[in-house]
A and B are shown apart, each in its own frame.
Chain A
């Protein structure tokens, strides 16, 4: 089955640590995205990538980093510079072009302890 897989489902981080969230897709989609979801805030764009080896900052990129070395993979690193990292993180992918819908993963819930 084609889809998008995020891991882990739950992640706990100590203050000052960097953590990396995994996102893998086998849909042959060119574009991939990371969104952050907080209660009452909707989905806010962190980073996105439309082709391999290229990515752009979204609205809330500070304290986060990404890489896109393979078409299938778009990992997100939450660095110690992110002041309030506790949130639900969603990865999505889509085809490029005129009409497209996003396929979302099931999310990773990150908690700072």
Chain B
């Protein structure tokens, strides 16, 4: 049973374009939704996170959109750059109570 479903599995975007990665979750008790960025051979690093009391959170070029009724959230990377090429993971948890459950990841390639 996959609690967090992430799509697409891979994504190729032109430099300057918008990258969009989607996640859907099953457990309505989840209340913390982070995104992690991972470069090859490294551990993931927290990129941005959202809680269900807001529908959108923006940090620089990165935005999370959250749709509680649809049980979906997405990561938007504006003005995508080659340095953004990495694997991105969405995750969810019941904050302070359970470990993070991760999606399967999206490999993003930004080409010039």
A residues contacting B by CB (< 8 A) are 6, 33, 35, 40-45, 48, 58, 90, 92, 96-107
Contact = CB atoms under 8 A, between A and B. Distances in A.
Interface residues of B, number: 23
Contacts of A48: 99
A101 B43 contact: no
Given A41-B104, A43-B44, A99-B96, 19 more contacts: A40-B104, A40-B105, A42-B89, A42-B102, A42-B103, A42-B105, A48-B99, A90-B44, A92-B43, A97-B96, A98-B95, A98-B96, A99-B32, A99-B49, A101-B46, A102-B36, A102-B46, A105-B43, A106-B41
B27 interface: no
B102 A43 contact: yes
B5 to A, nearest CB: 10
Contacts of A103: 46
Contacts of A44: 102
